[in-house]
A and B are shown apart, each in its own frame.
Chain A
Amino acid sequence: MIIEALFPEMCNLFGDVGNMRYLRQCLPDAEFIETAYGEKPAFAEQNVNLLYIGPSTENAQVKMIEALLPYGARLREMIENGTVILATGNAHEIFGRWIEDVRTGRVNGLDLLDFTVRRDMMHRTNGPVLGKFEGMDVLGFRATFTQTFPGENLPAFLQLQKGAGMNPKCKTEGICVGNFFGTYLLGPLLVLNPPFTKELIRRMGGPKEPVLAFETEVEDAYRERLKDFETKVKE
């Protein structure tokens, strides 16, 4: 199994490095490739089981778009053929049509998925988010300056139960096109959500019944947090 993390030196805000660290412990036999900015991505020349991108600063997003533009056709092919791609925090934004900053204007994205992004650096959306994905409870946190406006037919990742959606009028969170998962949820998403992590490993071509690292403790923490979401977090 091959797992590629793109630009980890830039896409590492908000504890999202915890995702790859945890996955290494769950999949000790997998090959992990960290592709630095300026290097040719591994996915360009070989199939990968998971392509992971974490959140970055606004300037880094521009650099990433420039760096990935030459691989646009290959990324489109990967989305269409069902390669698992996980983009956390604001990472999914580079895959859309454009990112429009209210002060500095528009930057074109990779234009691989039908959505646009609006950014306002003076307004931050923070808070816990709880939603359903294929019957599973997925929980996490959002902290962004941006809102995403999906096209009419773009499938969502989560049916929202609590917290903010992709934009103030949206009742869904994230994007799920085949095996492309893009979500505003940031941080150690895979540590916080053992049911989703198992599903992701299955989709990556792993065993039907994956065993997670520290599964007992991770499940305990998940149940306790879910209780908090149900009792303390407002809708």
Chain B
Amino acid sequence: MRKPIRFYASVLGAKCMIGLMRLMGRNATNLPGEIALYFFPNLLRYFEMPKTVIAVTGTNGKTTTSNMINTILRENGYDFIDNSFGGNVDTGIASILLSNCTLGGKFKKDLALFEMDERSAPRLLPYLAPDYLVCTNLQRDSMKRNAHTEFIFNILNENIPAKTKLILNGDDLISSRLAEQNSRVYFGLDKLEGEIPTEDNIICDMKNCPKCGRPITYTFRHYNHIGRGYCEHCGFASPAIDFEAKSVSDGVVTILHDGKEEHYSLPNNRITDIYNTTAAVTLARTFGLSEEQVAAAVKKMEVVKSRYDRFEAAGCEVLVTLAKGQNPVACSAMCDFIRKEPGKKAVIMILDDANDARNSTENVAWIYETDFEFLKGDDIKQIVIGGVRCRDYLVRCLVAGIDREKVACTPNEAEVPGLLHLDDIDKILILYDVFNGPALKNICDQLKALPTGGNA
């Protein structure tokens, strides 16, 4: 392919910038790509991509799944380009490509693995042209950016190249219909023995048949619209599953594939983690690795600490969970996790959007599609809310049916530990938004400083 001078100039300029940034001790995760794309918007079109490209996208679970695939491939000796330490939008992926390419836009490595933001599909998919695309699920996300699942489905659907083999969640009646003419492999999760399904979510984005508009009948749902269903009117139904998680026992998931059982370790037993593991295993097995190769690598996986942490404080177990503000499905999953966690519990919520809290006023519409109703059980003794929007969360708790006397709130997150009453509490569960790291650290430090059994 003949490349324009601007391409070579962009690559050279970006490489100089990356070198300088590294000398200054800074991560060149986004800026070089951002500037190069500003200077030459068609930049991505002219890279000669590695021989095999794997992309991972979806609303929830793409980072975890991508990290799992990364571990599996590295443990099996593959050397590849990836964006595990960078951005997953066009500027981040451009930065990774720029830092790894030759001056002519070629790559020495034959393999690349990219986590890809689903909203960036039109700017990335035609140029990355992945050989394999994993889509974990399509669910409701930030209304500001992602609008609704139909919109995200359409932009993915219109941009998936014909050659791409799809690894799809067969239990998601939305994403399982992507690029129906493409080759595909479905993963899924059967109804588990002893599972308490979450069928009382506010959101179910697939209540009506996408073909004829009549109601979908679900044979089971794990949560939201994730499960198996069919339309009695036109015959539309969930697809047959190629890699199906059938059971979980002692931290091991059994996956049925081609009539044979395969066994893999799990980082933990949450439904979403079983899905992520099954998605990663399905990609790895489809890519050509054996069951033994994948199983040995999966044993070494850990959940990223920033998403899930646990420590002891004031004689209580403290569980810290990333709730992804503005994402009602992910936040509802955390509320469900809290509901099902045994013991007498106190809940801390710091979910404000940090940028809006400083500069604007956050659109809190999303909290009315988040299942705060899950927090009204008698075993939840107290809910303490911190942040400038605390009064909105208080109202939301009341609309959810939570007793007024259980809820305390303060605009100042640093005051949250002081509002806790830990006399009769086994566990403190903290829900935080990803950009509230400093406030979270402050709260955790204060909790760690509390005497056993003591209140602030």
| Chain A interface residues (CB < 8 Å from chain B) | 9-10, 12-18, 21-22, 25, 36-38, 57-59, 63, 121, 124, 126, 128, 141, 143, 145, 186-188, 191, 213-214, 217-218, 220-221, 224-225, 228-229, 232-233
Contacts and interface: CB of A to CB of B under 8 A. Distances in A.
A221 B148 contact: no
Contacts of B204: 9
Contacts of B144: 124, 126, 143
A150 to B, nearest CB: 24
Contacts of B365: 14-16, 18, 141, 186-188
A188 B363 CA distance: 10
A15 B147 contact: no
A38 B213 contact: yes
Contacts of A57: 148, 150-151
Contacts of A218: 395
Given A15-B368, A17-B202, A187-B368, A214 B213 contact: no
B395 A58 contact: no
Looking at A16, A18, A25, the one whose CB has the most chain B CB atoms below 10 A away is A18
A177 to B, nearest CB: 25
Contact of B399 (A14, A21, A233): A21
A59 B395 contact: no
Interface string B66-101: 000000000000000000000000000000000000
12 contacts: A14-B365, A15-B364, A15-B368, A21-B368, A57-B151, A58-B150, A121-B154, A145-B147, A191-B395, A213-B398, A213-B399, A228-B388
B120 to A, nearest CB: 13
A225 B364 CA distance: 11
Contacts of B151: 57, 121, 145
Given A16-B365, A17-B369, A221 B147 contact: no
Contacts of A128: 360-361, 363
B359 interface: yes
B218 to A, nearest CB: 13
Contacts of A25: 399
B349 to A, nearest CB: 15
A203 B367 CA distance: 28
B150 A187 contact: no
B406 to A, nearest CB: 13
B118 to A, nearest CB: 15
B143 A224 contact: no
Contacts of A141: 363, 365
A18 B399 contact: yes
Contact of A224 (B363, B391, B399): B391
A15 B369 contact: yes
Interface in B181-231: 202-204, 207-208, 213-215
A221 B207 CA distance: 33
A220 B368 contact: no
Given A15-B365, A121-B154, A232-B359, 4 more contacts: A13-B148, A15-B368, A188-B364, A232-B360
Contacts of A63: 213
Nearest to A36: B215
| Minimum-distance CB pairs A-B, first 4 | A187-B365, A18-B368, A15-B368, A15-B365
Interface in B396-432: 398-399, 404
Contacts of A16: 365, 368
Given A37-B208, A143-B143, A191 B213 contact: no
